[in-house]
Amino acid sequence: KAGVTQTPRYLIKTRGQQVTLSCSPISGHRSVSWYQQTPGQGLQFLFEYFSETQRNKGNFPGRFSGRQFSNSRSEMNVSTLELGDSALYLCASSLAPAGGAYEQYFGPGTRLTVT
């Protein structure tokens, strides 16, 4: 069974630009969560989608948005990039909403660098 895939793996953008990251979950998984990881900050929760609906949103500005398609693939978008947005963005999929009795499977991440 194929794992969680994320594209692109690496991205360099300039301040003020926008970016779209993609995540394809494991087949059959309906939940996709997004996390931002920076050194010393751990895994900061961005949002979770389940069956095309945003189930939860973390404490990030409105510049961060996402969506989920009917095939469970998800995208996240960051507009008006700032230097502080440089981070590893991880997505994770699970059979059911995050938490509970179902584990999350993480993708390899997209390394975003904003210059």
Partner 1 sequence: QQPVQSPQAVILREGEDAVINCSSSKALYSVHWYRQKHGEAPVFLMILLKGGEQKGHEKISASFNEKKQQSSLYLTASQLSYSGTYFCGTEANTGNQFYFGTGTSLTVIP
Contacts of residue 62, Cβ cutoff 8 Å, sequence gap at least 6: none
The span of 11-19, 21-29, 64-72, 96-104 binding partner 1 (CB under 8 A) equals 96-104
| Least distance CB 63 / partner 1 (angstroms) | 21
3-class state of residue 84 by DSSP: helix
Q: Is 100 left (phi over 0), alpha (psi -120 to 50) or beta?
A: left
The interface mask with partner 1, positions 41-80, x = CB under 8 A, is: -xx-x--x------xx------------------------
Residue 105 CA to residue 29 CA, distance in Å, equals 10
Q: Is 104 in the site for partner 1 (CB under 8 A)?
A: yes
**Under the rule (CB under 8 A), what is the footprint of partner 1?**
33, 35, 42-43, 45, 48, 55-56, 90, 92, 97-109
